[in-house]
Amino acid sequence: MVVGRLLFGRESNLVFGGCCAHSPKVHRFLREMRAAALLVFLAAALVCPSQQVVQGTNPKFAEYYAPPHDTQIEWLVEGARAEPQDREGKRILIYEGKCQKYAETGLLELVVEAPQCLYDRLEHSLSSSGPMRVRTADAKFSLEGEGFAWMQTNSTLYISNRVHTIIHPEMLSASRTNLVQRSTNGGEGITVDSAKFTYSSDTGIGRYEEQVRVTGTNLMMTSSLLTFLLPKAEKQLERITSETNVVMEYELDGQQIHAVGEKADYSVPTAMARITGHPSWESGDRAGHGDELFIDRSNRVFQANGNAYLKMPASHFAESGLLGHTNAQTSGKSATNQFVEIESSNYTIRTNLAVFQNDVRMRQREEDKIGGTMSCALMTVAFAGTNELQTMLAETNVVINQEDKVFTSDTALYTATNGLLTLNGNPGWQAGLRRGKGDQIVGELRKDQILVEGNAYMRLPAGELGEALPGGAAPEQKAKATDTGFAEVFSQRYTLQPEKVDFEGGVRIIHPQMTWTSKNLIAKLASKEPKQASMLAEQQVAFVFNDPKNGSIHGTCERAVYDYSEDASLTNSLVRLTGSPILETTNGTFENKIILFDRTQNKLMARGNYRLHGFAPVDTNRLQMPKKLK
């Protein structure tokens, strides 16, 4: 038995075999024992003043709640052996020490254990420079380290070295989150390692400091500081916050994601992580950043807000031609240095789906060279297989630049399976000096072809349709007409290829030197030197040539073929009319089954019997009639 205040001081009450020290019998026993112990203590002090108090075995020290729970133990400190460290017994060295925290209901909440610890009865604290272990009563949370101090008054624990924590899945509200994968054999949950640790049971706030490392079944995170909220009432981990040089690695849908930032907040009930402080992320060959990153692992959602950026290989858009063809596509080489970059106010990535919002800008880049671009207000991209583009929907103020082509619309839908780009909502296109619009535009990007449907309109340099000027026109006049003149074509629909266009339904051409109308028209465009252009007009053909020297020439037929060619030495401009053709000039009308009109020589040619109406004597400077009738 230990004497003096070691066992009988006023600061703590001794518990014997379940019998509380407040009972009357125990009170009498204590009074008697105090008197005897005091005599022994005084005698020992007089005989050997420097000798310490004799050690005791199985000591127990209890502290109680304030009224009305004053019969309930709040703290119970016990051990295998005790050695007083002062004569008054205020500081006691306890071997195999254990400190237990009880709730007002009597349920055990927390246990602190140490092979050796110093118990300060006045300060109500336990401390040691050696190892220790703390755990909740249900063992869902356990922690160990070296060098600690436990303050009973404010329920605060300090650990100074080699901190190791295990948080079991049940404490992570596993029914609402998949932060760790639960297993039937009782997985290890999350482990946290650090150099230092502080925890207050009253506030439920804990702090890990220096070389913090969090490890889970599919999660790893490092930082300089980690705080968490573990309220003692709920006994559920609610929030984790990592700060300074945060690095997070985790698995989502089979893909490893690496994220970095200066701060990461994780809410256990919502399974949401928020990373701030210049955060960025990488996943395989994709990377991005933003002002803040959100990770919702339970719903498999990844979100970047504010100055959001995403980078992926151009191979994810392979063969699409959406932003034009890459050099790798045209050369057959790999596209390891070619990327697609997307900037927006924010984006959300789900399983095989990405949504970009507000001021969306996408561009194709090869090293420092920028290729095609696209901008819109909202873009939804669906991927299939190994992150290959499946569909892309752009909405509101859509502008797509493909090398020398530009598409505009309210909405643009690209489908990778057939390579079609469908534009709706005031769609328009431009390629060099050519441009057009309609009710709908469908681009077959792999074939470099577009289809314009409904109220179709096209504007192009007049010279690409050929020139109506006769061969005697001055070269400078030809150049002026070719360089500055434009032709406009209206129809119900047309299909445009680089050097060919098919117009269908109510075709009308307004050219600086001529006009055409027909039901259908196919035009081969003179887009390069030497110039070669042709037009095939069919059904209800009508045209007017504007000749400044000879006046207007009108023609009607069912089929008209116009061929134009020009090189350094020769210019040909020939019109062939069939299907009840009629040609009218200011001097009369000419009819035949077939009429050939040579615009370069300003001559008419015909076979068989033809009819003339109201022609005046032929002027050699004007239209020349056939010299021989056949």
Please enumerate in sequence order all residues whose Cβ is within 8 A of that of 1, keeping only pairs 6 or more positions apart, or say none: 7, 37, 56
pLDDT for residue 592:
86
pLDDT for residue 174:
42
What domains, with CATH codes, occur in the chain?
A: 1-122 (no CATH), 482-613 (2.60.450.10)
DSSP 445: G
Cα separation, 515 vs 620, in Å, equals 26
pLDDT for residue 413:
95
Report residue 554 CA to chain centroid gap.
61
Residue 614 has pLDDT above 70, yes or no: no
3 state SS for 281-324: EEECCEEEECCEEEEECCCCEEEEEEEEEEEEEHHHHCCCCECE
pLDDT digits (tens, 9 = 90+) for 66-104: 999 889 998 899 999 999 988 888 899 999 999 898 988
For tokens 């007409």, the residue is 481
Q: How would residue 546 be classed by pLDDT, with cut points 50, 70 and 90?
A: confident
pLDDT for residue 571:
74
pLDDT for residue 608:
67
Cα separation, 141 vs 497, in Å, equals 70
pLDDT for residue 400:
92
- Please compute the mean of the pLDDT values over residues 479-492 and round it to a whole number: 73
Q: SS3 for 608? A: coil
Nearest Cα to Cα of residue 318 among 309, 302, 330: 330
Please enumerate in sequence order all residues whose Cβ is within 8 A of that of 596, keeping only pairs 6 or more positions apart, or say none: 574, 575, 576, 577, 604, 605, 606
Q: SS3 for 332? A: coil
Q: How would residue 151 be classed by pLDDT, with cut points 50, 70 and 90?
A: confident
Cα separation, 350 vs 452, in Å, equals 34
Contact in structure between 468 and 546 (CB atoms under 8 Å):
yes
The pTM of this model reads 0.74
Q: Is residue 602 exposed (0-12), middle (13-18) or buried (19+ Cβ within 10 Å)?
A: buried
Q: How would residue 406 be classed by pLDDT, with cut points 50, 70 and 90?
A: very high
Q: Per mean pLDDT, which range of 220-229, 263-272, 345-354 is the poorest?
A: 263-272
Arithmetic mean of pLDDT over the chain: 79
For tokens 């420092």, the residue is 368
Beta bridge partners of 149: 127, 158
Q: How would residue 393 be classed by pLDDT, with cut points 50, 70 and 90?
A: very high
